[in-house]
Amino acid sequence: MCEANAYLVKDGEESLIMESVDIVQPEEGGTWRLVSIFGEQKNVKARIKEMNLVNHRILFEEDAG
């Protein structure tokens, strides 16, 4: 399976938002909807900082604005 883990980067530290993310979709207001392979859903108000698919990592960072 090729899902990825989503992390929030803050002050140089990564905290796990969700494991095994399958779907990433933009919502209104600078929010991203994450859906895991288990059907779990979460909305994250943050910017995408980087995605590294081979390493199964999606990094978000809080919007400075």
By the criterion CB under 8 A, which residues form the site for its own copies? 1-4, 21-26, 37, 47-54, 56
Burial of 5 (0-12, 13-18, 19+ CB in 10 A): middle
Q: Please report which helix (H) or strand (E) contains residue 22, including its range.
A: strand 13-26
Beta carbon nearer to its own copies, 1 or 16: 1
CB of 49 to its own copies, least distance (A): 8
> Which residue number, 10 or 27, has a Cβ lying nearer to its own copies?
27
The CB-of-11 to its own copies minimum distance in angstroms stands at: 20
What is the rounded CA–CA span in Å between residue 44 and residue 32?
Answer: 5
